Structure 1
Amino acid sequence: MELQGKRILLIISGGIAAYKSLDLIRRLRERGATVRPVMSRAAQEFVTPLAVGALSASHVYTDLFSREDEQDVGHIRLARDCDLIVVAPATADLMAKMAHGLADDLPSAVLLATDRPVLVAPAMNPVMWNAAPTRRNVETLKTDGIHLIGPMKGEMAESGEAGTGRMAEPLEIVATVVALLSPQHKPLAGKRAIVTSGPTHEPIDPVRYIANRSSGKQGHAIAAALARLGAEVTLVSGPVTIADPRGVTVRHVETAEEMRAAVLSCLPADIAVMVAAVADWRVVGTAGQKIKKQPGEPPAPLVLTENPDILKTIGHHEQRPTLVIGFAAETENVEANGRKKLAAKGADLIVANDVSPDTGIMGGDRNRVRLISHGGIEDWPELGKDAVAERLAALIAERLNQGKSD
């Protein structure tokens, strides 16, 4: 059993998705884990400690000020006497407490006192998930090293509500738990990887530029995932607002020319994953001063020239990495355009996706990709960008270890 002997502290907070925690307990125990539950006061309005205790075969901890449980500073013991803490569901309220270091109840006190890995499965209304404070808190938690899974897109408990906010399914959470608690095998140890991420900004004048809506989330997640598998990773990032990933050397650039130079300076390498949404064109002769409007006059024409093709350069370079992967962000004919890119760029694999505005992928937290290689096409389900990164990093490790690049 994958989790034999592992000790999981399961924190259940107060959302309708708390009912899924009952199945999660069963799935974890089926795989050999010991599950010790902690419930917030609000969680007990959705599922009872009796049901949780019956399924976990464990005492259920509910009160920070319990005379019985706190005789030996119980919240500290709970925080440390485990291999992993899972928060499922994680409400916006509990995530805000985690981000700001609050500890006014048993779940938040345990989370602040722990030195163990923490996996959070958010669940809330889509408007709450997309609210600015929640987005800030999510970024803080990621920077603090908290692992997140989900939320998923779909129907909400509220009638007529749909969007991103559903808690990840128990089996998906279990798979992530298994991955986090597996022996720290480093299949990419000794390998060097280059990852590009984010947009490029091509200046028009000192205050204006040509850009796109790329957030850098997918590229940053891939860099972090490769590093966790032991690779020595250099991330070449265009202008983004997200934090640098841990364990990665980051080189910040602005333009396509700067990104190209930075990538080439990182050669030789074993792996190149070109995720950045590089601007296709730049302005010829950037203005030294802000271009002013002239009353009654048409705007000054912008003369554009093509930017360097970084993926093609790497794919045909004399120091070409063993495995070259490109990304194709398309709004139509995803498969056909991905196949053309694979052939033209000298890549081993193209990760293609539909970034039409209604998908929410460009700048969002989820992705649905299609892997196009010389051997065929593989469709992946919609996943969080961190989950896409983990799967892609595992695929890269598998291909390198098999000595394959197609």
Structure 2
Amino acid sequence: MDSTLKRMDEEIDLQETFLPLIAAWKFLLLLSIVGAILAFGVSFFLRPVYEANATLFVQSNSGLSKALGDLPIPIATHDTNSSYFVTLLQSRALADRVIDKLHLMNDPLFTRGDHLTRQKAVIRFQDNLHVIDNKSGSLVISVRAGSPRLAERIANCAIDALDKLVVTASRKKAGFTSAKIAETNRDLREAEDELRRFLEKNDIASVDYGTKAMIDELRGLEASLVENEIQLEQIDSDLRNGGDLSSLANKEVERRALESSRKYLLDRKMQLTKKLGRLPEIAAKYARIQRRLAVLSKTYEYLNQQYQMARVTQQGEDTDYQIVDRAEGLKRPVSPRKLVNAGIGGVVGFVLAVSIVNIKSSRGRQEMLRRAASRSVLEDSTKSSHLHV
């Protein structure tokens, strides 16, 4: 019986596999159409999703990369700063700024009727914002939302928030000097009030020419020391924030020169302070107030000059990226795609129909094989009985 089943199984060719499908073409077509219609109909009940795209172009660092590549030691480099901007765009800091700016936690198109916590709102924002890093140096910011207007607003707000997060050298310097100006302005007003009270209370006609000369020299030294200290603080801040190798090396040399100059100024200041210490009390106090006032005035003037220079530099500074295209929401939803869904539904219906036909055909073949095997057994038993007779 086993040999009979094997022989009959070998006789089944491809025609017996495809003939049932051809015979059932109406059934295949019917299920394909039903699947397409069902998928197309379901698409109308799905929430539409719209998309808005913005494009940035990141400036190249190829010059620095080439310089580092020429060094006799292996240093990993990147041709662009794109990874820095991709990280900022995908950061929680940017998400928080955009969510607060657009009040997304109160926008039904963003929440979709869900009660979102802050953490869930940030996760949803990051899921809907995608950054495509092209090899050409461009970054495409793609945002999906419940309306084209919302997608457009989120993408453009993300670009604006990116500008606030990008820290340039001049912006750091402007922030540093701005804080110093406010502090110096307070100290300057206090010194002016102290001098006014001193002049109202005392007669300073007894201060001789030599004392005034020492006072002038000492306040000049202290003004130079303050300027030196500000420059050192700025250089230390730049060194902590990093940068390219050549710039860091130059700043280190400049820092050592400033430290050497500061040592000389401190030594000279100590000499003059000792001389003034031997003056009468009223002259010494007058000298101290004058010195402090002169130093603060010089410091205020210097800081204002540095602040204005930083502001001018900031306006014309290359921000390492350029906005090529601001976002504009697409009027047609990107999902659900009704025709695509209908096509997928049709394919699913066709596959289901093929499976049903194959299962029925397989069962029919098994039944046919079983009957053939039974006939073969019956014939063999009949022949055996005839031989015995």
- TM class by shorter chain equals under 0.3
Q: Report which of the two has the higher share of helix.
A: 2
* Larger RCO of the pair (alpha carbons < 8 Å, separation 6+): 2
- The structure carrying a bigger strand percent of its residues is 1
TM-score under structure 2 length normalisation? 0.23
The TM-score normalised by the length of structure 1 is 0.22
- Greater gyration radius: 2
